[in-house]
């Protein structure tokens, strides 16, 4: 299965945080899961690590962990994502809008994806 990963799911999985829900942990631990990381997810994760809000020691460690996982595809913040973001005005947080928009764009391109949050 293919999943679009939100920021806290990514961070909590990488740091082994017990707050990560059991379903999310199972998906992220499954070697057969294909993981789409929206560019905005990665950018927000870098921001959180830079601010010391996680046990991940550095942005370099974060990026190395992402690069080392062959299941991960980083999806760009492109025009299609931005246009879809505009239609998601009921989602108040910009990053969440763009993450949801990424899932919708992938689905519109024929990908069968699910949005994976931390819970």
Find the DSSP H helices in the chain: 7-15, 22-29, 39-50, 59-68, 79-86, 94-108
Distance of CA 17 to the CA centre of its chain: 16
Taking the C-alpha atoms of residue 62 and residue 112, their distance in angstroms, rounded to an integer, is 27
What does pTM read for this prediction? Answer: 0.94
Q: What digits encode the pLDDT tens for the residues 66-102?
A: 999 999 999 999 999 999 999 999 999 999 999 999 9
Q: What digits encode the pLDDT tens for the residues 58-68?
A: 999 999 999 99
Looking at residue 119, what is its pLDDT? Answer: 62
74 beta partners: 37
């Amino acid at each position: 299965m293919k999943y679009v990963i939100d920021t806290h799911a990514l961070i909590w999985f990488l740091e082994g945080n017990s707050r990560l829900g059991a379903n999310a942990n199972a998906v992220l631990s499954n070697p057969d899961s294909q993981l789409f990381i929206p560019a905005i997810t990665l950018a927000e994760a870098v921001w959180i690590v830079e601010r010391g809000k996680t046990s991940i020691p550095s942005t370099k460690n974060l990026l190395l962990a992402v690069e080392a996982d062959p299941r991960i595809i980083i999806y760009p913040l492109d025009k299609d994502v931005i246009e879809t973001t505009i239609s998601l005005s009921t989602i108040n947080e910009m990053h969440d809008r763009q993450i949801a928009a990424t899932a919708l764009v992938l689905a519109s391109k024929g990908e069968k994806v699910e949005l994976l949050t931390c819970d």
